[in-house]
Structure 1
Amino acid sequence: MATPEGSRSPSVELVSYIRTAPAPFNRPGDFIIRTAQDTRYHVTLAILSFASSYFRDLPDIERNEDNEVVLAVPESDAVVETLLRLIYPMPDPVFCDLDDLTDAYVAAKKYKLDSATQSLQKMLIRFVESDPLRVYALARRFDLDEEANIAARRACLSATQAWPQCEEFNHISAAQYHDLLQFHKRRGQAAAHLVKIKPLCEPCWVCGKKWSKPWKKCAARLLVEAPSSERMFTPDLLGELALDPSPEWLPYAAQGLLC
């Protein structure tokens, strides 16, 4: 049987409640931070004031019915706890996801937590091996030149055609993305030029220089595509060249005379 419009069955009535943060932020303090999930973090305002001018210059906040000073913030539990762990004398948080670090960094800048911002900046570079493009975009977004340069070099390990689409690129300018493409192109051209410098290696007493010509050609192509790639030094490239039908390479490949 349907209930009248505007009424709800008691069996599905939602009850609002306030959650308490984990230790040590569940102990009584003189200041409470309430997150978007209505979790209360009990903190000491003096510690926050020492860490940030935002809290030091905070205007008087009215007390609630329980005579508590409560600051409601739009950030999530994860972000607030991350920042507090960077402020309080306790182990730093460990990030497994770059999105979590990004959210924390944005909040740290918002609340002028300089020390926390610097700590998060150092943690950002840990993701450069797994997500160089995302790290580059974040570094450019936050004006972190050193981190952006490191990420750009790491991005040269793969061809631009293989780069995934990253949401972080929506927060940087077209000029900054173009800079990354040009950096990749310049490094590729420079690396390919090095391959062509003679003598690349000493002639082999068995097959002379003939094997190196197709290798140089293939290596130059690979380096233009991915300037920091090491594939030209791997056995699979020699296997690829062994299948090359060019007349000057095939006889030596068939004999297994790979220099």
Structure 2
Amino acid sequence: MNDDFSVPDGDIILRTQSLPNRHFRVHKLVLSLASSVFKDMFGMPQPEPDASTVDTEVVDVTDPPQALDLILRLIYPIPPPIVNNLDLLVEGLVITDKYNIAGARARLRMRLAKFVNEDPLRAYAIASRFGFDEEAERASSLTTGIYLPALTDLPDDLKHISAPAYHKLIRLHERYRNEIEDAVDAVLFEPACLECKVAKALAEPRMRTKLVRIFCRGTPITVAAYIRELGIVCKAACMTKFVEGVAVKLGGKNAIILP
């Protein structure tokens, strides 16, 4: 029996199907107040209790034990759990939708907002899947620090979002990449860059892709480190001017260029 949900006066046991079985002895009243689905469920005929659970109704559920434990902690009047795992948070949201538990869903939504900065791509997918428009909008703007074409493994969460939500994300990234390429083109054709072969080198498709990917990261990088990563050497300072010039034109929207 689960230590936190084995109260003597509990009048129902939720028994998970994964082995070993987990038993949660809880109260019908609490579950009914939190969920209309549970309320309706208790009105349906249930199998006769076995010898170990005399006078206590048993309901078999297919929910993951850890996620069910999480939801029970969110609907019972006990200190709320701290959710530091997106996988668990998603499993919990699935349960709240399955049983229509609005209160727990709202609390998990608040927790998802904490992950927007840590993992914006997954946060966007999860928010889109569960209809959290505000969080999806905020997360999508932060995903521009990720160069999507370079990802070999996309989060499984993206499999659960709608085609319009995925299309919106792709269009956003295209717009940001276009902004970067426009800034690159504007700086490349300044006289300072034409004095050496920087413009010619960066005009190559492979090098332009590499250049855009660096700016798309959205993480701080020094001018010197940027130049080393590009691998383009010039005797004059035009390469430095080029990197600084692109950063200025982008206005800090993408990579933060440090001195």
Q: Same fold (TM over 0.5)?
A: yes
Aligned alpha-carbon RMSD (Å):
3.6
What is the DSSP-based 3-state SS (H/G/I as helix, E as strand, rest coil) of the residue aligned with 1:71?
strand
What is the DSSP-based 3-state SS (H/G/I as helix, E as strand, rest coil) of the residue aligned with 1:165?
coil
Structure 2 distance, partners of 1:108, 1:36, is 18
Judged with a 3 Å threshold, the aligned counterparts in structure 2 of structure 1 residues 43 and 234 are, in CA distance, closer, same or farther, namely farther
Structure 2 distance, partners of 1:83, 1:92, is 10
1:68 aligns to 2:56 (yes or no): yes
1:36 aligns to 2:25 (yes or no): no
Asked if the contact 1:31/1:44 (under 8 Å) is kept, the reply is: yes
Q: Alpha-carbon deviations, 1:83-119, whole Å to 9, x = none?
A: 1000012222223332111111101110110010111
Runs ≥4 in structure 1, deviation > 6 angstroms? 194-198, 220-223
**Partner AA of 1:35 in structure 2:** T
2:3 to 4, 11, 22: 22
Alignment of 1:40-189 (within 5 A): 40-58=23-41, 59-62=43-46, 63-65=48-50, 66-163=54-151, 164-189=153-178
Deviation of 1:230 (Å): 4.6
Structure 2 distance, partners of 1:223, 1:51, is 53
**Partner AA of 1:78 in structure 2:** Q
Q: Alpha-carbon deviations, 1:96-149, whole Å to 9, x = none?
A: 332111111101110110010111112122223333222222222222221211
User: Could you tell me which residue of structure 1 aligns to residue 249 of structure 2?
Assistant: none
**Partner AA of 1:161 in structure 2:** P
Note the residue ranges of structure 1 that are not aligned, 5 or more in a row.
1-19, 199-208, 253-258
Judged with a 3 Å threshold, the aligned counterparts in structure 2 of structure 1 residues 190 and 21 are, in CA distance, closer, same or farther, namely same
Of the structure 1 ranges 73-82 and 153-162, higher mean CA displacement relative to structure 2 is found in 153-162
Note the residue ranges of structure 2 that are not aligned, 5 or more in a row.
242-258
Greater fraction helix: 2
User: Could you tell me which residue of structure 1 aligns to residue 254 of structure 2?
Assistant: none
Judged with a 3 Å threshold, the aligned counterparts in structure 2 of structure 1 residues 47 and 251 are, in CA distance, closer, same or farther, namely closer
Asked if the contact 2:35/2:101 (under 8 Å) is kept, the reply is: yes
Structure 2 distance, partners of 1:240, 1:141, is 37
Scaled by the length of structure 1, what TM-score is found? 0.70
User: Could you tell me which residue of structure 1 aligns to residue 238 of structure 2?
Assistant: 249
Asked if the contact 1:34/1:72 (under 8 Å) is kept, the reply is: yes
Is the radius of gyration larger for structure 1 or structure 2?
Answer: 1
Structure 2 distance, partners of 1:114, 1:129, is 25
